[in-house]
Chain A
Amino acid sequence: MPERASRDSAASGPANTCDPAGIQSAPVFDIKRYAISDGPGIRMTIFLKGCPLSCRWCHNPEGISPAIQKMYTESKCIGCGECVDHCPEQACELTDEGITTDGKLCTACGLCAQVCPARASEMSGHYETVAELMKVIENERPFFDQSGGGVTFSGGEPLLYPEFLCAALDACGKLRIHRTVDTSGLVSEGKLLEVATRTDLFLYDLKLMDSKRHEQWTGAGNRRILKNLQALAATGAEIQLRIPLIKGVNTDEANIGATAVFIAALPGPEKTIRLLPYHDVAGSKAAKLGQRHDRGSMTEPAEADLERIVTQFASHGLIAAVGG
């Protein structure tokens, strides 16, 4: 069984600016149990809503906006018109293609989801306090205890809610539950280092090494992401680097080579590298949000691509494994 939390933030004392009495709620858009790919053991992964990036391949497009959003699944709709009758803004309309919602009128009050009998209309995201969340987490403890697992905060970008995150991590630390934070890295360095004192493992995404291309595909440059990674590594934090592999975006030799060089030069303990091949599943979720998903030139990498990439990492003395 893996070692338990090596650093207990609650015990080491808080020297931070996170205010435990401050904002202690954050929008959660999903909680996954028996998560087996987000860190050691059996985990519970908590997805916080809102992300500074908007990657074109994003699997969870509902995690990008921090706002509570309506999601609509046409195949579930029975056309009963309950939502039309109940919408205080008269934003819902029953058409041949099911329900349409006028985004200009909708205030995301959630009444439509409340009255919908079929879960065709659902609200993505609800505010959860640390205390409420801890009840949910504690319930799962038998599974953590048996497997050396714990909690993974993911998103979106969990560091968008540093006070909430720090308070939740501290509470987990007190219960000796293993803590993992999955971050895009596009956050303030100060907050990241504060979070690091109460985190046992980071899952850190590296998408593209060329800042221009990074901006083109994710909506932001990568300068701060890379700098933060170096700063985090310098603290000796345990880090697993996660590289989404999207053919047509970042699987080329040049990018993989540059990634490998960068990782090899990072300070601190050896990093594990996980390669996450792209699967085109974003489309259906985008449709539920009323968005269009254009996969454009993005394709799933072939087995041969994966082999080549693993070899390329190996030539830099790095072991990269496929899969979370």
Chain B
Amino acid sequence: MVNVNSKTSEPQRKADTEGNFYPRASSAIGPGMNARIQRLRKQSVETEPSLSIERALHETRFYKENDGRFSAPVMRAKNFLEHCRQKTIYLGEDELIVGERGPCPRSVPTFPELTCHSVQDFEILDSREQQRYTISEKDIAIYAEEVIPYWQGRTIRERIFNHVPDAWLAAYEAGLFTEFMEQRAAGHTALDGQIYHHGMLDFKRQIRAEIEALDYLNDPQATDRFEQLSAMDISCDAVIVFAARHAELAEQLAKKERDPQRVEELRKIAEVCRWVPANKPRNFHEAIQMYWFVHLGTITELNGWDAMNPGHFDQHLAPFYEAEKAAGTLTREQARELLSCFWIKVNNHPAPPKVGITARESGTYNDFTNINIGGITPEGRDGVSEVSYIMLEVIEELHILQPGSSVHISAKTPERFVHAACKVIRQGHGYPSVFNPDVYVAELLRQGKSLKDAREGGCSGCIEVGAFGKEAFLLTGYLNVPKILEITLNNGIDPVTGKRAGIETGDPRQFETFEQLYGAFLEQLNFIVDTKIRVSNYIDRMFAKYAPAPFLSVLIKDCISKGRDYYAGGPRYNTNYIQCTGLATTTDSLSVLKKHVFDERKFSMDRVLDAVAGNFEGEEFLRQTVLNKTPFFGNNDDRADEIALRVYDDLLKAIDGKPNVRGGTFHLNMLSTTCHVYFGKVMGATPNGRLAGKSISDGTSPSHGADVHGPSMVMQSLSKLDHTMSGGTLLNLRFLPSLLKRDEDVTKLGHLIRSYFTLGGHHVQFNIVDTATLKAAQNCPEDYKDLMVRMAGYSDYFNDMNADLQQEVIERTENQAF
């Protein structure tokens, strides 16, 4: 056994610098954390993330010993079972909900089968200032000796890069798109309520029944199905073993423990871990622990993007809460404490770090678990319960990075809940974000889901939606739409590098009409999208073949009945999303060219393109003219909004409905996360006056500072897009705290949200912070350790963000009190 601590080391960060014990705001909606939660929270925020090589070692040894003995799914399942048998188990003081992916809190394993970190990667991770992950020299040495040599040439990442066509590589290197699955498995998975009605033993019975019913006479897939189902069966055993080892540890600790209260707690933990996940939970505590073991199982099996998500957790827990309340076996305070313990558990799990240059694309510890609160039930009723209100209190009080949370406001959602949610939003931590089930249910219906499945859907990570528990909706990567325009304006050449990045679509200096220009842009767009889709399809098959996920397949409906893996079309629904960023930058740039070059002929194309190429140096008159005298998106101005609509519709046409290799289709979604900042870095200036290297606009929000008529006009512009055609749109709004001083201001914020949703908006999120505070935080980071801001679909500590991301938030339009 390698050197792994079963206890956390000394805190690397001081308590008072991380927002611990921050004074409870007088406007807070809950009573405050108890002592246990304060201690657990303190440990979680103070422990610096570290890397654990334990999983990689177990896996490498298993693969070395068993190479060639089993089919891929059975190999994966047995590997998972072995790791669950051997891995270091952690049970910390004060804990009520137990289990860690690594050997201790905040410790992250690696997944060399997908992408194998190099010695240099580890050295960078260990020493970089932001998003640091510590790792000892000794561990690096062991890794270099045992892990790296075996996986060289065997990782999914290498398999992908060995096969990609030149056109893809050129576009990828130019930053025209990113590829999610070159480093991590596809994730964005959320569960429905079935694990609260079926334990692993029930799933095993289902699996056995399917195996017995296999028809080797008529079904040519029967052998493959047998392998898949056998793998699923083994993976159920893995999580049962994992839980049982926690029960044993709790019993051992109870024998040594002297505090009678803790003895009782440890015995309770043992009882819970003996029962779930083997059986369906019987009470509130078991229900939370059930989910947590399932969560850990999926993120240990593979490192899926956007971790894992319980879905409509409040709706799942409400029946347990209500039954226990009625029986008198659970108080509201106990429920709050258990939920707080769960929240801290999620925070204990930073995202697995990436390798190489892509670290720049998304710099955060956040692994994007998003708890959906409120919304509607599968039957179409209001989903708000007392558990929803308790969750709002927990997220306000804990004030931690993870899990993210979102409130779901349908026309049926009570005003009281909206008001409570807005009060939490007012605290300015950037969460919860706000979603509109009335629109996303329509989105899912349009994609072909049944009404019930659509209603049980929601947001898995940032803003993308799927049918929880029944769908593999894979995010394939971001599309840099403004960059497509940039190369169009350079006839397929990337002006930043001078290299060819797309196809030749004509010399724009010879274009005589806007339609000619737009036609060239469209041609380029279709080429780039198809280039991306080709490789996406290839990668999907790679995962299905080499990195199947038998445990996840147990949890997602129809994988068992089909005998197919999650990555091979097993789920009921199979979607690939391409996330398009920079709608506003593209729109505004086209608007500039349309008005000033083609319609009014104030500037020649030559002059504009030369100015853009020269980053507007010596062309301040031109730059100011385009900035101030052009219709821009976000002002309810049809001249700009019509262009946005056209681009949006053409993105849809380019992406929506194209078949994937899993029996489903590609869909569009307008998510950017932090990628719009990275995309801006790889771009020169754009015709809308944006300077080289500056962030492009995010998903569907206006360009920075382009919206000058307040939030209602921004919402009017956005609502012209038909959100139901997408799988999610994104709207960031920044408000000054003075806009939310009084209780009636909070009510009006709720009304603003409802107005947007009536207009057909999918999502909106708020940053309640003034520019002065952000600048002060940049200058004196140590005074603002706990300042959290909303990035795009998730919150992050302002000080954990790099300078580019910080600047992007600062430049967002600040809506002030009038």
Within 8 Å by CB of A118, from B628, B711, B817, lies B628
- Knowing A34-B710, A36-B745 touch, does A42 contact B755 (C-beta < 8 A)? yes
- Knowing A32-B818, A33-B713, A36-B818 touch, does A142 contact B752 (C-beta < 8 A)? no
Interface size range on B against A: 20 to 34
The distance from the CB of B112 to the nearest CB of chain A, in whole angstroms, is 52
Report B-chain residues with C-beta under 8 Å of the C-beta of A34. Answer: 710-712, 752, 815, 818
- Knowing A117-B624, A323-B741 touch, does A36 contact B748 (C-beta < 8 A)? yes
Question: Does B653 belong to the interface (CB within 8 Å)?
Answer: no
Are B741's CB and A36's CB within 8 A?
no
Kindly list 8 other residue pairs between chains A and B, CB separation below 8 angstroms, not including A37-B817, A143-B755. Answer: A36-B739, A36-B745, A78-B620, A78-B624, A82-B621, A139-B716, A147-B752, A323-B742
Within 8 Å by CB of A42, from B628, B712, B713, B758, lies B712
Cα A36 to Cα B712 in complex, Å, equals 12
Report B-chain residues with C-beta under 8 Å of the C-beta of A247. Answer: none
Q: Which residue of A lies closest to B753 (CB)?
A: A146
- Knowing A36-B745, A78-B624, A117-B629 touch, does A143 contact B818 (C-beta < 8 A)? no
Question: Does B625 belong to the interface (CB within 8 Å)?
Answer: yes
Interface positions of A from 64 to 87, Cβ below 8 Å from B: 78, 80, 82
Question: Does B39 belong to the interface (CB within 8 Å)?
Answer: no
Question: Does A158 belong to the interface (CB within 8 Å)?
Answer: no
Report A-chain residues with C-beta under 8 Å of the C-beta of B739. Answer: 36
Question: Does B751 belong to the interface (CB within 8 Å)?
Answer: yes
Are B752's CB and A42's CB within 8 A?
yes
A-B contact pairs, 20 of them (CB 8 A): A32-B710, A32-B818, A33-B709, A33-B711, A34-B712, A34-B752, A36-B745, A36-B748, A42-B712, A80-B621, A117-B621, A139-B636, A139-B716, A142-B755, A142-B758, A143-B751, A143-B752, A143-B755, A146-B752, A146-B758
Chain A 1-43 against B: per-residue CB contact (8 Å), 1 yes, 0 no?
0000000000000000000000000000000111111100110
Question: Does B759 belong to the interface (CB within 8 Å)?
Answer: yes
Cα A148 to Cα B747 in complex, Å, equals 11
Question: Does A180 belong to the interface (CB within 8 Å)?
Answer: no
Are A119's CB and B628's CB within 8 A?
yes
Q: Which residue of B lies closest to A119 (CB)?
A: B628
Question: Does B58 belong to the interface (CB within 8 Å)?
Answer: no
Chain A 99-140 against B: per-residue CB contact (8 Å), 1 yes, 0 no?
000000000000000000111000000000000000000011
Q: Which residues of A contact B (CB under 8 A)?
A: 32-38, 41-42, 45, 78, 80, 82, 117-119, 139-140, 142-143, 145-149, 323
Report A-chain residues with C-beta under 8 Å of the C-beta of B711. Answer: 33-34
Q: Is the interface of B mostly helix, strand, loop or mixed?
A: helix
Report B-chain residues with C-beta under 8 Å of the C-beta of A117. Answer: 621-622, 624-625, 628-629
Q: Which residues of B contact A (CB under 8 A)?
A: 620-622, 624-625, 628-629, 636, 709-713, 716, 739, 741-742, 744-745, 748, 751-752, 754-755, 758-759, 815, 817-818
Q: Which 6 A-B pairs have the closest CB atoms?
A: A147-B751, A117-B624, A117-B625, A118-B624, A146-B755, A33-B710
The distance from the CB of A248 to the nearest CB of chain B, in whole angstroms, is 24
The distance from the CB of B617 to the nearest CB of chain A, in whole angstroms, is 13
The distance from the CB of A135 to the nearest CB of chain B, in whole angstroms, is 11
Cα A80 to Cα B623 in complex, Å, equals 12
Report A-chain residues with C-beta under 8 Å of the C-beta of B625. Answer: 117
Report A-chain residues with C-beta under 8 Å of the C-beta of B713. Answer: 33
**Highest count of chain B CB atoms <10 Å: which of A38, A119, A142:** A142
Cα A38 to Cα B748 in complex, Å, equals 12
Report B-chain residues with C-beta under 8 Å of the C-beta of A37. Answer: 817-818
Within 8 Å by CB of B621, from A41, A78, A147, lies A78
Cα A145 to Cα B756 in complex, Å, equals 12
